[in-house]
Structure 1
Amino acid sequence: MSDGPGPDDVADLIADLESGHRAAEDAQARVEERGEGDLTAVAEQYDRLQELFDTYEEEATGDGDFKIFIEFQEEMEKFVDGLADDLPHRECFEEVDDVMQQRRLTESDFAEARAALSPAADDAALLEERDATRSRYEKLRTRAERRVRELDERIADLEALVAMGEADLDAPVERLREPIEAYDDAVTDAFRAFKGEASARDVLEFVEATAAFPLVEFRQPPAKLTEYVETHPTGTEPIPSLLEYADYSNSKLDHYVDDGAALKTAIGASQTYLRRLDGGPLTVSWPPPTAGELHFLARELIQVTGRFAPDDVVAKARTVRSLADREDYDRLRTSAQAREQLDDEERERLQSGAVQADLEATRAAREELAATLDELPG
C-alpha cells in the first residue's frame, strides 16, 4: 500500500505554475500593448508572403524556370496591391516587392527580403509567444489537477494504512472468516455440481441471468455458444459432455450428435470459457469488503444462489449478510486487513511514525497545490 507518488515534486510544480502564469500574462500584455487586431492582420499577411516564398523561391532563383519567375513577380504585385493602406509595417512588404522586381533573383535577394520583413516577423512572433505560453500554462494546470487527484488517492491509502496500524491484531477475526469461508466453500461446491450435472442450456441461462446483478461479476458467454446450446439437442447435455465431444474425431462424433461440425465450431471456440467457468464470482473476498458493500453483495448472492444451489447454501449466504450488521464488523474487518496486507516494512514505518508523517506532508502538499490552482485563473 501507499506506493503512489509522494509530495516531493509539489513545490517545483507550484513554482512552474506560477512562472507559467506570469509568462502567459506578460505575453498577453505585450499583445494588448501592440493591439491584437493589428498583430493578427500583420501576421496573416506575413504568413501569406512566407507561403509565396516557399512556393516559388527554388524555381524562381538563378537560371530557374522563366515562366515561374514571371508568375512569382505577378503574384508579388497582386499581394502588395491587396494590402490594406493602414496595415502596420506596410512599407516592409512594399520594400520586399521592390527587392523582387528584378530581371534575375538570387538566394541573397530572398535573404534580403526576409531581413526587410523582420518588423512584421516580430509582430507575428508576439502572437506565437502568447499562444505558446498560454498552451504551456494550460498543460501545467492539467498536470497540477491530475497531481491533486493522485495525492487524494495517496492520502486515502495512507489513511487506510494508519487505520490498519491502529487495528487490534488480536481481534477474533474468525467470527467473520469462518462463516465467509463456509459460504465460499459451499457455493463453490454447489456451482461445480451444477455445472457438472445440469444441462449446458440451463447453466448458460443462469450465467446470462446474473447480468441483472452487477455485483455478481460472471463473464457472459459468447453469443455463438449460447445460440448453439439453445438451438441444438446437445444443449440439454452437461458442459463436461460437450467438452468431451469437442475432443472427438469427426467420425466418432457423428455417432453422438446430429451436427458434428456445428458442435466443433461452437464448443471448440469456447472451450477456454467453458473450462474456466466456476463459482468464483459467487464468493466473498477475504479480507471482506466494507459493511455496506457486503450487505448489498450478500443480498444479490442470496437471490442468485437461490436459482441453483441447495437451501443450506442460501442459508449460509444469509448468515454472511448478517455479518454486516455486527457492531464490531468494522473493527474485525480492519484487523483482518492488517493481518493480510501489512508487511514487515509497513509495520516498522507505522511503529516509527513515518507513515503518519508522510500522511501529514501529503495532506499539506495537496492543500497548497489546490490553493494555488484556486488562486491562479484558469
Structure 2
Amino acid sequence: MSERVHSPGDDASRDDHTARETLEAARERFEQAEARIDDAGGDAVAEAAEAYRDATDLLESYVDRATGTGRENFQAYLELEGKFDSLVSGLPDELKGREAFEDALDAIDKRRLSESDFERAHEALEPAEQYAQLLEEREAAREAIDEARTDAAKRYRALGEETDDHERLLELGNADIDAPVEELRAPLETYNEAIDEAFTAYRLEASAREVFALLERSRWYPFVEYEQPPADLAAYVRDDPAGKYTIPELLEYADYSRSKLDHYVDSADELKRQVATQRTFLDGIDAGPLSLEWPPREAPVLQRKTREIRPFVERVADEETVARVRKIRRLTTDPEFEFDRLQTAAQAVDQLTPTERERLADGRVAAELEELRAERARLEAALDVDDPI
C-alpha cells in the first residue's frame, strides 16, 4: 500500500475530533459532579457548603485581629466568638456535617487565641469542606463546558471556511482552462492602464485639498480602499493656505530651504513638519484602489466594485475611461459573454498550483471535502446539545 500523503483533511479530522472529545468530556465531568451532589443530598449539600463558606470567611476575617494579648485583640476575639456562636446556633439540626461546626466553635472557645487555634478550627471544619468542594467542582465543570463550546464553535467556523475552500477548489478544477480568458483580461487591463494614467495627471493638477476630499469620500465606499491621511496632515491640508498646492508641489517644497520656502507658504516649519514626515503616505496616493484586480472576483463582487469606483473615476478621468467601467460592468451580466466561465477559468489558471492540480486529478480534494462535511456535521450535532445553565 502506498504511503498516504498529508492533506488539510487530516488536520480537520484531528482538530474536530479533539474539539468534540473536549466538549463531551466536559459534559461528562459536569454530569458526574451533579451525580455526586445528588448522592450527597442535593439541596442539603448547598446548605452545608454555604455554612462552611460563612464559617471559614469569619475565621479568615478575624485571624489577624483576634490573636494576641492586647485589649483590641481581646475585643476582636469576643466579636468572633459571638458571631461564630450565632452562626452555629442558627444551623439546622439536620445540617450535614453540623458537628464539624460545633467542633470548630470549641477550638476557639478560650480567653486568648493564637494562630494555632485558628488552624485547629479550620481542621475541625474539614468534614464540612467536602460539600463546598462538590459545588466548586460542579462550577468548574460548567466553566469547562463553556470554554469547550467556545473552542468547538471556533473549530466549526474554521471547518466551514475549509469546506468553502475545497468547494472552490473543485469548481476551479472543473474550469475550462482553454476558455478565451483574454476576452476578459483585455478590457480590465485597458481600463487599469487608463485609470493609472488619468490619476497620475490628476495628482499633477488637483490641489492636495481636493485629493484629500476624494480620500475622505472613500470612507463610505468599502470597495474603494484608500488609506485615510493622519489627522494632523488632514487638518493642515484642509485649513492652511498651502492646501491649494498639488501633492507633488508640496513634496517638492518640503525639500526647499526655509528661506526659499518662505516665498511659498506662511510657515516653512509647519509645512516641513506636516509634509516631510508624511512623504511615504503622500507618495502612495495613486490609482490602486480604483484599479480592477486580475484575475477578477465573482460577478457580484465585480459589479459592486465597478459601481463604487465609478463616481471616483468620473472625478479623476475622462468620459472614455468612465465608459470602460460601464462596459466591464455590463460584461458581468451579458449572457452571451459567459463571464462566469471566463472568470472561473482565469482563476484556475492563475491560482491552481501543480500540487493542487495533482490532488484534484487523483480525487483527494473531493475525498477531503466529504470528510470535512462529515466532521462539521458531527461537530454541529455536538454543539446542538443543551448545556446546563
Partner of 1:10 in structure 2? 16
The share of aligned pairs that are identical, in percent, is 42
| Change beyond 3 A, Cα 1:103–1:274 | same
| TM-score normalised per structure 2 | 0.87
Residue 264 (structure 2) aligns with: 256
Aligned to 1:183: 191
Structure 1 residue 106 displacement after superposition:
6.2
Determine the structure 1 residue equivalent to 2:368: 358
Note if 1:349 corresponds to 2:355: no
Letter in 2 for 1:178: A
Which of 292, 303, 309 is matched with 1:301 structurally?
A: 309
The answer to whether 1:26 aligns with 2:32 is: yes
Q: CA deviation at 1:208?
A: 2.1
User: TM-score of the superposition, structure 1-length normalised?
Assistant: 0.89
Matched, 1:228 2:236: yes
Letter in 2 for 1:154: E
Q: Does 1:371 align with 2:377?
A: no
| Secondary structure of 2:48's aligned partner | helix
In structure 1, the residue matched to 2:86 is 81
What one-letter code is carried by the residue in structure 2 that aligns with 1:351?
Answer: A
SS at the partner of 1:28? helix
Q: Cα distance, 1:159 vs. partner?
A: 0.6
Partner of 1:306: helix, strand, or coil? Answer: helix
Number of the residue aligned with 1:48:
54
Whichever residue aligns with residue 355 of structure 1, its letter is V
State the 1:376 CA deviation.
4.4
Of 129, 134, 157, 1:126 maps to: 134
Structure 1 unmatched ranges of 5 or more: none
Amino acid aligned to 1:330: D
**Per-residue deviation, 1:290:** 0.8
Residue by residue, what CA displacement relative to the aligned partner does 1:183-214 show, whole Å, maximum 9, x if unpaired?
11110111111012222222222222333433
CA distance in 2: counterparts of 1:69 and 1:121, whole angstroms: 28
Corresponding residue for 2:145?
Answer: 137
- Does 1:277 pair with 2:285? yes
* 2:174 corresponds to 1:166: yes
Q: What is the CA RMSD across the aligned residues, in angstroms?
A: 2.6
Amino acid in the other structure paired with 2:264 = Y
Instruction: List per-residue Cα deviations over 1:88-118 (Å, max 9, x = no partner).
Output: 2333111111122246666665454333212
Q: Which residue of 2 aligns with 1:329?
A: 339
Deviations 1:113-138 (A, max 9, x none): 33321221011111101101111112
Question: How far did 1:33 drift?
Answer: 5.1
Deviates more, 1:235-244 or 1:103-112: 103-112
Q: 1:15 to 1:255 in 2, by over 3 A?
A: closer
Cα distance in 2 between the residues matched to 1:368 and 1:346: 27
Please give the alpha-carbon distance, in whole angstroms, between the structure 2 residues aligned to 1:357 and 1:320.
37
Closer, same or farther: CA 251–103 of 1 in aligned 2, 3 Å: same
Deviation, 1:176, is: 1.0
Aligned residues: 375
The runs of 5 or more residues in structure 2 that have no matched partner are 1-6
> 4+ residue stretches of structure 1 with deviation over 6 A?
58-61
**1:258 aligns to what SS in structure 2?**
coil
| Greater mean deviation of Cα atoms: 125-134 or 207-216 | 207-216
